Structure 1
């Protein structure tokens, strides 16, 4: 069962870790991460195809590499098949990213998938690639990449 605090925990982690005002939340479902980040003073756009959603800034479309770069950080909480696109988009625009992967888009088991994502980020030129555990039940390991060392 998913941890009901996951969006608030991830939002707090993102705010503490990154100096980013504008955030793209990719494959963000109903917009719960958007809501949590907005409550912490961030300007967030959620990308997803959901018709039923929270009243947050929402782009009802699939996120792709051609999306204009109007953010300082790209994130995904259990973004399923969009996980790889988040990393590729961030690399293309030299932005930091943070994803909490849950499953792969190619049937790869969870731990090898996480390692694959970290390796992809390294291959795409991120000098800082890390994995950090969120204090939550379920799949709460963050894979993140940045072009600058962590704050604090």
Structure 2
């Protein structure tokens, strides 16, 4: 166990995560921690605005449970696989329904692609944010869709899926075949930022909340250089 923690610490530090691996919470709590982070930064009111949060490739329903059932923040799941709640989450839904009639969030049994964006234009046009917790094949699709719509997004990448996407390359031509190159590949906008969440496993969140932030920073650098 000690050796594994040491290896995790070294790998995390190389990726920029300086937190102590001994202090990290079990990965079973990652969806709760991710949602806590979203609420802390953006607030319940903002997340609940419009059509609410769009959660992509979260087939177990953990994000809708945390946001809608626990906090009352409208959340729509996008996943071609039917939602599969575990026993604990089913109890939470039953409790919420008994208390105030709150049923489980809606789900679109679809992949996130151009056709889905067109068919459900109102949902995506008015959503507050697109999110994905370890969305695997859908990770890049979330980033691309959000940027196309100029919507905020937050994703926690996990699997690289290099066999499914063998032609991915970073801007410098490096093949995307490791977690580190995958994260670099996803930095498609100058305003994308990253943070590390306090749970074990892949815990780096890439997020973009303000599309003009990068432009303002560049303008400030130019102004400073010209004075």
**By the TM > 0.5 criterion, same fold?**
yes
RMSD over aligned Cα, in angstroms? 1.7
What is the match of residue 115 of structure 1? Answer: 184
Query: Where does residue 131 of structure 1 map in the other structure?
Result: 194
TM-score by length of 1: 0.85
The structure with more radius of gyration: 2
Higher relative CO (Cα under 8 Å, sequence separation at least 6) belongs to 1
Secondary structure at the aligned position of 1:72 is classed as: strand
Which ranges of structure 1 fall in alignment gaps of 5 or more residues?
Answer: none
Q: Does 1:42 align with 2:42?
A: no
| More displaced 10-residue stretch of structure 1: 76-85 or 97-106 | 97-106
Pick the aligned partner of 1:14 from 38, 48, 51. Answer: 38
Task: State the partner residue of 1:4.
Answer: 28
Q: How does 1:42-81 map onto structure 2 within 5 Å?
A: 42-54=73-85, 55-66=104-115, 67=117, 68=121, 69=124, 70-81=126-137
Q: How far has the Cα of 1:131 moved from its partner?
A: 0.8
Shift of residue 52, structure 1, vs aligned partner: 4.8
CA separation in 2, counterparts of 1:129 and 1:29? 26
Q: Corresponding residue for 1:28?
A: 58
Aligned pairs (5 A) from 1:136-151: 136-147=199-210
**Residues 15, 40 of structure 1: 8 Å contact kept:** no
Greater percentage in helix: 2
Displacement of 1:34 after TM fit? 1.1
**How much does 1:129 deviate?**
1.2
Q: How many residues are matched?
A: 142
Deviation at 1:104, TM superposition (A): 2.0
Structure 2 distance, partners of 1:25, 1:5, is 17
Deviating 4+ runs (over 3 angstroms): none
Q: CA deviation at 1:40?
A: 2.1
Gaps of 5+ in 2: 1-25, 86-103, 164-176, 214-227
More strand by share: 1
